[in-house]
């Protein structure tokens, strides 16, 4: 048995667990000043993130993309399986193939696959089957979810809560990109199986989302959308029932 940590919670560890890594002290970040102010400042930054559909062709250093993906790779995941792969595309020929295949699927989507409700919901965003941003953005990040753990040292090949895990990692990727001043679009050509073929990925890697990333085009406009107010998205259970009567 071993016990780590300071004055707070002290985990009881069983060193006989054969697959268990060593346990180390957790080091939380210390916000400068008031935690409420810190989170409010972070919230204000996140609130400025927008999906954009017009990118500048100005290059973005691959080192920035590396760091954004490394940030996404810190996400929590079911049983720490990290069931994601981020394929980064910067060459024009592959971007063109992806655009052509995406536009084929999107034409079918807008012409007959999408329900009338879906088209009505999309109408205010003024999206359509043309996807020039797939060639204009300097990089496309194609996020794949892994349907098996392919590491040589994996305890088992199974993966858990893959959609949840990859969704969280993708959200962190978007936030990291925004932190660098870059803009993104979360794009889901429907269906997007073609991405696996174009990028030569194995069968157990399934396309999850396609993210063009770059600097926004000059004078780029975005729809003036509303976000739900806090009272609509938050429900609080705070007070314990009075046990005294």
Ligand X SMILES: Cc1cc2nc3c(=O)[nH]c(=O)nc-3n(C[C@H](O)[C@H](O)[C@H](O)COP(=O)(O)O)c2cc1C
| Burial class of residue 180 (count of CB atoms within 10 Å of its CB; 0-12, 13-18, 19+) | middle
Residues 200-239 that bind ligand X (CB under 6 A): 222, 225
| Burial class of residue 117 (count of CB atoms within 10 Å of its CB; 0-12, 13-18, 19+) | exposed
Bridge partners for 84 per DSSP: 145
Binding ligand X (rule: CB under 6 A), the pick from 20, 80, 104, 188 is 188
Q: Which stretch in 13-21, 50-58, 67-75, 211-219 sits in contact with ligand X by CB under 6 A?
A: 50-58
Q: Which stretch in 39-47, 68-76, 84-92, 184-192 sits in contact with ligand X by CB under 6 A?
A: 184-192
Please state, in angstroms and rounded to a whole number, the distance separating the CA atoms of residues 145 and 85.
6
Q: Is 187 a residue that touches ligand X (CB under 6 A)? A: yes
In 3-state terms, what secondary structure has residue 148?
coil
| Burial class of residue 80 (count of CB atoms within 10 Å of its CB; 0-12, 13-18, 19+) | exposed
Do residues 86 and 213 touch, judged by C-beta distance below 8 A?
no
Binding ligand X (rule: CB under 6 A), the pick from 50, 97, 148, 179 is 50
Q: Is 163 a residue that touches ligand X (CB under 6 A)? A: no
Q: Which stretch in 12-20, 25-33, 46-54, 234-242 sits in contact with ligand X by CB under 6 A?
A: 46-54
Tell me how many residues contact ligand X (CB under 6 A).
11
Q: Is 85 a residue that touches ligand X (CB under 6 A)? A: no
Strands 205-214 and 139-146, how do they pair? antiparallel
Please state, in angstroms and rounded to a whole number, the distance separating the CA atoms of residues 133 and 106.
14
Q: Is 104 a residue that touches ligand X (CB under 6 A)? A: no
Q: Is 51 a residue that touches ligand X (CB under 6 A)? A: yes
Q: Which stretch in 11-19, 20-28, 135-143, 185-193 sits in contact with ligand X by CB under 6 A?
A: 185-193
Which residues of this chain interact with ligand X, rule CB under 6 A? 50-51, 53, 125, 127, 185-188, 222, 225
């Amino acid at each position: 048995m071993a016990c780590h940590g300071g004055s707070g919670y002290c985990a009881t560890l069983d060193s006989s667990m054969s697959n268990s890594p060593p346990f180390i002290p957790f080091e939380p970040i210390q916000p400068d000043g008031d935690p409420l102010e810190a989170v409010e400042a972070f919230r204000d930054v996140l609130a400025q993130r927008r999906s954009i559909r017009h990118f500048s062709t100005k290059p973005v250093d691959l080192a920035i993309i590396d760091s954004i993906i490394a940030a996404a790779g810190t996400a929590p995941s079911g049983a720490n399986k990290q069931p994601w792969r981020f394929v980064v595309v910067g060459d024009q020929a592959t971007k063109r193939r992806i655009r052509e295949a995406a536009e084929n699927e999107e034409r079918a989507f807008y012409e007959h696959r999408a329900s009338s409700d879906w088209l009505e919901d999309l109408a205010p965003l003024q999206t359509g089957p043309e996807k020039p941003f797939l060639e204009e953005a300097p990089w496309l990040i194609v996020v794949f979810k892994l349907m098996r753990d392919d590491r040589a040292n994996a305890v088992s090949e199974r993966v858990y809560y893959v959609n949840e895990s990859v969704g969280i990692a993708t959200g962190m990727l978007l936030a990291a990109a925004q932190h660098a001043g870059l803009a993104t679009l979360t794009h889901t050509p429907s269906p997007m199986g073609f991405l696996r073929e174009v990028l030569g990925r194995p069968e157990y890697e399934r396309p999850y989302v396609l993210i063009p990333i770059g600097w926004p085009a000059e004078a780029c406009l975005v729809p003036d959308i509303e976000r739900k107010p806090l009272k609509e998205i938050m429900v609080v259970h705070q007070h314990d029932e009075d046990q005294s009567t």
